[in-house]
Amino acid sequence: MELVSGQEMIGANPSVNSKWNLRRQTLAIIVISVLLLAAMTVSGFLIENEKLSVNLEARNSSPSLDHLFGTDWLGRDMLARTLKGLTLSFGVGLLTAFLSTIIALFLSLLSSWNKKIDHGVTWLIDLFISMPHVVTLLLISFAIGGGFKGVVTGIALTHWPSLTRLLRAEVMKVKTEQYIGVSRQLGKSRWWIACNHYLPHLMPQIMVGFILLFPHTILHEAAITFLGFGLSPEQPAIGIILSESMRYLSTGMWWLAFFPGLSLVIMVGIFDLLGNSIRKLIDPFHGQR
């Protein structure tokens, strides 16, 4: 009997070959997405302050080779301001998504203690989901005083319910497994069970949920900043740029809002594509589709 190599077996099986090609395509999408996001955020740190300085001689310039995104009414380069704004949005999104994930993980593990606590967590999830999302975010940010602290606190306290509901469902499913009962009979504490049984099982959902929170946090940061309840006007945030550009759109300076808005949409789309690709890679049910 002749031995058949692994590559020949994969080539002879169209189903295995298609799954392998899908896996490589997913990995390629993840690598490209990470590189694009890194380029968009790192470039903001590399921009010199001279690019953001006022230059009245070049004010109100339309897009050209010297200024790809044009200039504003003070002669500031819109490409530099946009990249700085995207870097700032990335930082806010990273911090708020991390805090929301921590809240979701804590509440989901807390719900495994007993039925009363689980009912309390479920009631809290339903309460926050039932309230108007943007209104709650605006109220929290306004109550804290706006600014960076108000934006971060408001977004972090309003973006955890959906992820908490998902993680809680996974915890309830794992809680009925036999090895959990064995650990309890052996005298293991709830903290030990949570760290050694629940947490490893939740890591794929936590990672994907963390990445998919980015688009929501970035968009809501830009939205409340645009409305005047977010970051201070001195910071080159995308919301500030879009808010300031509204006063000049009627004069034909379309580039002031078009390029920053388009860049924000592209960053959000890349994050969404990255999260879905990672979910397909680590979730066997999605990976087989």
Any idea where the domains of the chain sit in the sequence?
A: 16-47+75-287
Length of the chain (residues): 289
Residue 71 DSSP class: B
- 246 φ, ψ (degrees, to nearest 5): -60, -30
| pLDDT at residue 99 tops 90 | yes
Tell me, what amino acid is at 83?
Answer: L
Q: What pLDDT is recorded for position 10?
A: 45
**What would the two tokens of residue 9 be?**
């077996």
Burial of 204 by CB count in 10 Å (0-12 exposed, 13-18 middle, 19+ buried)? middle
Q: Name the band, by pLDDT with cuts 50, 70 and 90, for residue 285.
A: low
Q: Which residue has the higher pLDDT, 35 or 178?
A: 35
Domain 16-47+75-287 has CATH 1.10.3720.10: yes
Q: Angle 171-173-178 (CA atoms, 0-180°, nearest 5)?
A: 105
Which pLDDT score, from 0 to 100, does residue 18 have?
A: 59
Alpha-carbon gap, residue 142 to 144, rounded angstroms? 5
Q: Which stretches does DSSP call E strand in the chain?
A: none
pLDDT value of residue 188:
80
